[in-house]
Amino acid sequence: MFLKQSRLKPYPMRRFEKTVTEEGVAKEGYVKEAETIRLELWPASSKLQSE
**Predicted pLDDT of residue 46:** 66
pLDDT of residue 4: 87
Q: Which residues of 4-26 are buried (b: 16+ CB within 10 A; e: fewer)?
A: eeeeeeeeeeeeeeeeeeeeeee
For 44, the 3-state DSSP assignment is coil
Beta bridge partners of 20: 26
Residue ranges of domains in the chain? 9-41
Radius of gyration of the chain (CA): 17
Over the chain (51 residues), the average pLDDT of each successive run of 10 is 86 94 93 93 68 56
| pTM of the shown model | 0.58
Measured between alpha carbons, how far is 30 from 42 in angstroms, rounded to an integer?
Answer: 25
pLDDT of residue 51: 56
